[in-house]
Chain A
Amino acid sequence: MDVLIIGLLLGGIYALMAMGLQLQYGVARIMNLANGEILVAAALSTFWFYTALHVSPFLALLAIVPAAFGLNWAIYRYLMLPLVRRARSQGHLEVDSILATFGLSFISVGVLLAVFGGHYLNYSYLAVPFRIFGENYGLNRVAAFLGASAICAGLYVWLVRTRPGLTLRAIAVNPQAAGLVGIDVVKVSAFGFALGGAVTATGGALLSMFLTFDASIGVIFTLKALVIVILGGVSDVRGAIAASFILGLTETLVATFVDPGLTIAAAYVLFLAILLLRPQGLFGRRPA
């Protein structure tokens, strides 16, 4: 029972991180391999806010989210847009953007190493027991989960119910057609990329409340987010949320009953299963 709940709590935050990547890939069409580094940068910044300035992680979000938004907007505007413009086809853009963000991820690791050093960092915030169904869980896990759920829900409603959300989804469906109905595709794509980065950073800040981070761990989170997005289907937010819970549960089960060192292996089993059985994702539609 406690394993299931820990898995669900973890899955909730994974959902946030995966929605960030999904916005970047779905709307801006950039497969961002530096996504995990954004998450780690946010996690380590939260660590710094808490230990050096005694600012609570939730308040730190007020600084981290705008910073991540601005940084990702700049990355899209100045690094990705030239690639979008020079690409001759979607496949060409994919190769270029993968290479560029791969290089970017190593630059970020280098910067993070220089700023925070190479050791594992964590801090103790809300480390008091919280009872659910007669078992104790860290209050930090529960608080992070509630925060992530609130943001996920807000984002989902915003995407589905509002006009700006609609423009984002229109570009995700078909950028050419979106341009024809008067959407400024470049501007909205940049916005989507920046929003995705900010959402991922929020996930990182929340995860840092109960996980230990070091500067070079980003690629692990990039992979997890990628597996979730593929598992859930590239264009469906509900799919990503469902897939996050599946990954959170699988990881926790494997870590508890087999070996805690096999979390990536667990994600890969899911990845392989979906590739072999349902490549369009759980909620994705088969291409016509």
Chain B
Amino acid sequence: MTAAERTNLGLAGLALLAAALLPVVGSGYWLSIGISIAMYTVLATSWALFSGPTNYISLATAAFFGLGMYTVAGGINLLPFPVLVALAALAGAVLAGVVGLATLRISGVYFVIFTLGLAELVRQLVAWGQHVMGASSGLFVLINVSDRMLYWMLLALAVLVYLVGWWIGRSRLGFALRIIGNDEVVAVHAGINTARAKVALFVIAGAFAALTGAVMAPRYNYVEPTLAFNPFLSFQVVIMALLGGAHRLWGPLLGVIPLTFLLEAISRSFPRQQILLLGVAFLLIVYFVPAGVVGLVEGAFRRRKFGHA
């Protein structure tokens, strides 16, 4: 471990400690903001684990999130909560595996299109399944999980995402993904099993999104399909990760924090124009900050170092 790595690790530890103490010092408002930030950090960072290096845009976060939420809501009277959370991760991984195996072997456009409707597809299937079994469309999740507990669970999940992301970054898998993102033909010729690498990463991202949904389920006492499979969530996650910068592990966090505050302000002041305003923000990011905040910072550093644009 080099000195720089030790410093970074120390800084990360301090940041984590400060974040973990938030519920002790912060009030209700700050705790709810903290929950949102922790949730979006897990979702956006795990999204970027796959979509960042490969440039395969996944629009399916809501499908995995909703699946996780429904796993908990559907089984809450049968199994203990931690078991359900584990099952949710498994369900997310299986769904991602199936989708990945079907679409990631062929060109990227098919993958994007498939993920675009995945949340709607799973929503229809869940609603249909409930209808066939004669259940009502909503489910109650009545267990006691305090907001503090929820926040710490999400924080633990975030730590896990970062550890996994750090490990992938140093592994052969991460190296393979970066080559695939640069030039898939080269990757194939270098002997990389591109389909397997892509599916593996997509499975990890899907499992994390499902875990997040599972952990969030107790927050909504009443879970129904339109809430769990809200396509707007997929959109928010993509915009946050892009604003921060999807090609660095800590990039998405830099998008999550400002956009969580922005979203909160928009939904407080202009609840009816939320979709429109976020759409505008999204276009601004795609056109003017294509490499994210991280890209801007790195660009500035490079210019200072080499003295030219």
Contacts and interface: CB of A to CB of B under 8 A. Distances in A.
Interface residues of A, number: 44
Secondary structure type dominating chain B contacts: helix
B57 interface: yes
B279 A107 contact: yes
A132 to B, nearest CB: 30
Contact of A110 (B55, B110, B273): B273
A226 B106 contact: no
Contact of A109 (B103, B238, B275, B283): B275
A107 B276 contact: yes
Interface string A106-129: 111111011000000000000000
B196 interface: no
B121 A268 contact: yes
A219 B109 contact: no
B165 to A, nearest CB: 21
Nearest to A111: B276
A271 B120 CA distance: 14
Contact of B59 (A82, A102, A227): A102
B276 A31 contact: no
B66 to A, nearest CB: 14
Given A99-B57, A103-B283, A220-B120, A110 B108 contact: no
Secondary structure type dominating chain A contacts: helix
Contacts of A134: none
B131 A100 contact: no
A110 B117 contact: no
Interface stretch (A46-54, A163-171, A240-248, A259-267): A259-267
A265 B113 CA distance: 14
A35 to B, nearest CB: 11
A139 interface: no
A188 interface: no
A219 B117 contact: yes
Interface string A48-81: 0000000000000000000000000000000100
Interface of B: 55, 57, 59, 102-103, 106, 108-110, 112-114, 116-117, 120-121, 124-125, 127-128, 131, 231, 235, 238-239, 242, 272-280, 282-283, 286-287, 290
